[in-house]
Structure 1
Amino acid sequence: MKKNAPAIIVGGILLVLWEIVARMINEMYILPSPTAIVLKMWEFREALFTVHLPATAEVLAIGLALSLLLGIGLAIAMNSSSWVERAFYPLLIASQTVPITALAPIFVLWFGYTIWSKVLVTVLITFFPIAINTFDGLKSSKREFEELMLTYGASKWQVFKKLQMPSALPQLFTSLKVAVPLSIIGAAIGEWLGAQAGLGYFSKRMMTQLDGAGVFAPIVILSAMAIISVIILRIAEKKLITWRKD
């Protein structure tokens, strides 16, 4: 609790200032107050938490699962083969030069308002940090340790399992703590541009009605999802990486 006290104090101060400024401006469609946002969340609680939140969570779950599978798989392949590294590393970099907002409408044209247009946006955003960080983590294992294990008769699989993968775990968790908030942004972008349900879709619908509190309500839920996910990842990281100091 003591570790989180500074964040709680600063967050509380910012919320109070936000409430004061919003009441001074008194234009809720431009800057809704935190209390107005909470009231709006309560007003639309059934739609937000039983329809739109599950839709967004499904996109996030599928998108992150695919990003993990593809990102870790490609990182292992690049670590195992210099040819694969030379072939795919530049493509990874190039994939980040294309604006997501330009591709998202194309995905909607390809897949319509189905879940896959949003999943592809999520994968495109989260795949890069997972692949690059995991690859760098695998490369971070000390060469002399690898040679020592091989000298004692260890197989390449044993070197990977006992040395390279544990060395990559800190980088992998770092990439996940970056990828999870990015995946939420990706899902929201996809839902803004074309969806029939989801928190991003709800926010866009409220925007057309000039309902500022309604626009912010799903954003608050998305932010809470990101914070809770990162906290869970930090707990898992401490459980799995016991050799690193806090």
Structure 2
Amino acid sequence: MQIVDHIAALSLLDWVAAGAIVLCWLGIGWLIEHPGAKRPSVTILMAERRRDWMKVFVTRDPRIFDSQILGGLRQGTAFFASTCLLAIGGVLALVGNTAPLQGVAAEVVEMPVPVLVWQLKLGLVALFLANAFLKFVWANRVFGYCAVLMAAVPNDPNDPVAYPRAAQAAELNIRAAVNFNRGLRAMYFALGALAWLLGAVALIIATVAVVWIVWSREFASLPRQILLKDTS
């Protein structure tokens, strides 16, 4: 009964704001990965360049350059995965001891906020961070699959399995990149979810800001303009 009373401390606007950030996270992700043909996202444009990379890879000798690129991509996923673990640890520490948050809140609101409410709000942040961690780990593993398959691509363009295997490597590379991007988006929304600690209105404003940042970088950024020039 006490738990119900504590949850009741969250207003309808709080639940709407929490639901909105989750829906926006899912919605913007779907839009980026399934854009209209007339307005492709950076993710889609880069997927074509990854396929082009593997076509060139077949005839490149030596292939040290390609291994360095793939190594850099794997290092990036490993870095963000470790960063997520540190962030998750920090959030869990706050979940176990919400006293610092209660002290800050006492200066902003007059009524005391139940510990369970703080834990629920931090739980949303942890949800995004956990998703990001899993995406980064999977991206790192798929990049590893890609590396093995690239090593199995013959260096002879006349070999009948050369281009089919290169195409398979390209698709694995694309899937790894998709999961890496999903991890980054989850981290963006985790930062936005922190605003819930300041209230529902702050969470709504942060959600709008995060959606704008993610959308603009995929559909209205300078790198996108450069990639479009390359395809024209």
TM-score by length of structure 2 reads: 0.34
